């Protein structure tokens, strides 16, 4: 007996043989270049409003395509969002609700955070029964290529196991284990020369694949997925880029303090980190290399380019890299800073440069949208929570529909176990520690400063019902109370964080900005091949 996925793949193979006779007479299918940044915040691009970071190449995608100002990742941390792009399903449905590797249940206590809840178990790899986006593209005649961060399972659940013909650098790790300069310590990325930049290497691998499989010559379209490890910590850059941004920060005036205490951790309030800024620019340089190659190869007029991020910028936890203000919070948080992303789609001949849409959209929508743009039949049983954005790209509207986030975990950045629903302008957050709910009108209060739950009880009830109807329908998992919870221990832990961590972070921030900053005396190994 064949599974549904096997039947779909078999049907695709048969269809391909039939297509080969007539394809030459048809308009060639568009190529797709999907660029996914890691941990890049909504305001971490100059085209999105940053006056500190400089990103001319990524800006160009926005300027030539449609910018979705209410574009969202499917989760506030990476693995769930990435799984949602691949499957078109919200995390509560596919079951990867935290970054793969995060502790659950009683193991959470080992972190000594003394929280009220024990996080539930979650799925630890992308389900092989799903027909993923790359598999659907392959079925429709596309060559498929992946480069960069995967983080959707260990060996046996790598990119090549889910529809990609080629995998360069994708494995179980969620961060650049060897750093951003070779040697990379990555089993799927060969070291070529010490000091080589990781982001540019991934770009060069993408360019090399496009050259070797040029659709303009082969007639076979390409789906290329460039998944940067940048700008995930550990943050690193070159001396030249650090110097550029250190001077820029000094000219703007260095703030006396850069952090405020959040619920669990300090949260960065300013964009003045010259190391992070250099890392952002290096990724932008790499994007520029790939965009230039499309022109050099004659592919730019028939290649859809998509750019987004997997979750909000890291304002707390990890490397405390950036500020997402005026959005509240950041990576790991239930607020807009944790889930709202740069979200750009450029379709030659369709999208008009500089167009903006305020339609709320999700990472789940890429799957059906790409199928639609490529003229491939929709697979609604697969991309169950996504909708095609083709009408919006054509200047039309979409019916209002709910977006759902389910993160019943604490994570590393200070967010709280919660579930979220957005419907129209309204956003409801349900907190699992105490069952409270917050309601925001994002049209008038994007910063989430004014909780309207007490004055809009009917709206709270409506959204609560819709949220939990969905969560129960997909058999979502929920956290449980920790029977060993001790409020005094948690209070003491939080007091230590504020007393000790805050000063450490402020000291580190000023160290990055000091004139004598010189990490490792070779800038994380970047000076080995310095020209």
Residue 257 C-alpha from the chain's centroid: 29
- Residue-wise pLDDT tens digits, 476-520: 999 999 999 999 999 999 999 999 999 999 999 999 999 999 998
Comparing CA positions, the residue from 422, 407, 222 lying closest to residue 333 is 407
Owning domain of residue 230: 30-397+487-526
pLDDT greater than 90 at residue 245: yes
Please count the structural domains in the chain.
Answer: 1
Cα atoms in the 13 Å half-sphere on the side-chain side of 232: 25
pLDDT greater than 90 at residue 9: no
Mean residue pLDDT across the chain: 94
Q: Does some domain include residue 80?
A: yes
Q: Does some domain include residue 230?
A: yes
Percent of the chain with pLDDT strictly greater than 90: 93
Which long-range CB contacts under 8 A does 104-113 form with residues at least 24 apart? 104/409, 108/410, 108/482, 109/482, 109/484, 112/493, 113/264, 113/410, 113/490, 113/493
CA gap 44, 336 in Å, rounded: 14
Which long-range CB contacts under 8 A does 486-490 form with residues at least 24 apart? 486/114, 489/114, 490/113, 490/114, 490/115, 490/116
Residue 521: pLDDT band with limits 50, 70, 90: confident
DSSP string covering 57-119: HHHHHHHHSEEETTEE-SSSSHHHHHHHHHHS--HHHH---S-TT---GGGGGGG----SEEP
- Residue-wise pLDDT tens digits, 230-244: 999 999 999 999 999
Mean pLDDT throughout 380-388?
97
- Residue-wise pLDDT tens digits, 201-232: 999 999 999 999 999 999 999 999 999 999 99
Query: Tell me, what CATH number does 69's domain have?
Result: 3.40.720.10
CA distances to 30, 201, 225, 278, 286 from 290, in Å: 17, 11, 12, 19, 7
Residue 530: pLDDT band with limits 50, 70, 90: very low
The DSSP 8-state label assigned to residue 189 in this structure reads S
pTM here is 0.94
Q: Does some domain include residue 435?
A: no
Q: What is the pLDDT of residue 528?
A: 75
Is there a contact between 428 and 420 (Cβ–Cβ < 8 Å)?
A: yes
Residue 95: pLDDT band with limits 50, 70, 90: very high
Residue 349: pLDDT band with limits 50, 70, 90: very high
Q: What is the pLDDT of residue 27?
A: 80
- Residue-wise pLDDT tens digits, 34-76: 999 999 999 999 999 999 999 999 999 999 999 999 999 999 9
Q: Does some domain include residue 280?
A: yes
Residue 22: pLDDT band with limits 50, 70, 90: very low
CA gap 158, 227 in Å, rounded: 13
Three-state secondary structure string covering 480-527: EECCCCCHHHHHHHHHHHHHHHHHHHHHHHHHHCCCCCCHHHCCCCHH
Q: Does some domain include residue 2?
A: no
Residue 5: pLDDT band with limits 50, 70, 90: low
CA distances to 186, 231, 345, 405, 430 from 74, in Å: 27, 18, 17, 6, 16
pLDDT greater than 60 at residue 8: no
Residue 13: pLDDT band with limits 50, 70, 90: very low
DSSP, collapsed to helix, strand or coil, labels residue 220 as: coil
Is there a contact between 289 and 63 (Cβ–Cβ < 8 Å)?
A: no
């Amino acid at each position: 007996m064949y599974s549904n996925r096997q039947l779909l793949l078999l049907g695709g193979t048969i269809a391909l043989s039939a297509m080969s006779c007539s394809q030459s007479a048809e308009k060639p299918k568009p190529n797709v270049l999907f660029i996914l940044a890691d941990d890049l915040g909504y305001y971490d691009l100059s085209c999105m409003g940053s006056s500190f970071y400089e990103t001319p190449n990524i800006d160009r995608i926005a300027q030539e395509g449609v910018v979705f100002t209410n574009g969202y990742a499917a989760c506030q941390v990476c693995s769930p969002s990435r799984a949602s792009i691949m499957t078109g399903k919200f995390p509560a449905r596919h079951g990867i609700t935290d970054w793969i590797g995060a502790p659950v249940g009683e193991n959470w206590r080992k972190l000594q955070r003394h929280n009220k809840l024990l996080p539930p178990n979650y799925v630890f790899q992308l389900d092989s029964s799903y027909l993923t986006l790359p598999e659907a593209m392959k079925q429709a005649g596309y060559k498929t290529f992946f480069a960069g961060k995967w983080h959707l399972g260990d060996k046996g659940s790598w990119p090549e196991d889910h529809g990609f013909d080629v995998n360069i650098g994708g494995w179980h790790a969620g961060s650049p284990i060897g750093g951003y300069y070779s040697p990379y310590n990555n089993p799927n990325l060969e070291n070529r020369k010490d000091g080589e930049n990781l982001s540019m290497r991934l770009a060069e691998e993408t360019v090399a694949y496009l050259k070797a499989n040029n659709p303009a010559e082969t007639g076979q379209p390409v789906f290329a997925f460039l998944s940067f490890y940048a700008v995930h910590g550990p943050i690193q850059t070159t001396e030249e880029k650090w110097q550029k941004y250190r001077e820029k920060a000094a000219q703007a005036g260095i703030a006396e303090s850069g952090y405020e205490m959040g619920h669990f951790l300090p949260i960065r309030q300013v964009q003045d980190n010259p190391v992070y800024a250099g890392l952002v620019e290096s990724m932008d340089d790499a994007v520029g290399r790939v965009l230039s190659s499309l022109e050099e190869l004659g592919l730019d007029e028939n290649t859809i380019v998509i750019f987004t991020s997997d979750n909000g910028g890291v304002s707390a936890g990890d490397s405390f890299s950036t500020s997402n203000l005026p959005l509240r919070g950041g990576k790991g948080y239930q607020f807009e800073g944790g889930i709202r992303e740069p979200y750009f789609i450029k379709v030659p001949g369709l999208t008009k440069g500089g167009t903006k849409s305020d339609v709320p959209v999700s990472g789940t929508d890429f799957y059906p949208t790409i199928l639609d743009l490529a003229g491939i039949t929709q697979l609604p049983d697969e991309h169950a929570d996504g909708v095609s954005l083709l009408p919006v790209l054509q200047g039309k509207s979409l019916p209002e529909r709910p977006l759902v986030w389910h993160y019943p975990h604490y994570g590393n950045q200070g967010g709280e176990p919660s579930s979220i629903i957005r419907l129209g302008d309204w956003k409801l957050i349900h907190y699992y520690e105490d069952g409270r709910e917050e309601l925001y009108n994002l049209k008038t209060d994007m910063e989430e400063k004014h909780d309207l739950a007490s004055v809009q009880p009917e709206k709270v009830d409506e959204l609560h019902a819709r949220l939990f109807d969905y969560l129960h329908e997909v058999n979502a998992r929920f956290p449980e109370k920790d029977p060993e919870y001790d409020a005094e221990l948690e209070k003491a832990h939080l007091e230590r964080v504020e007393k000790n961590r805050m000063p450490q972070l402020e000291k580190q921030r000023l160290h990055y900005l000091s004139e004598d900053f010189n990490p490792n005396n070779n800038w994380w190994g970047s000076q080995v091949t310095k020209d």
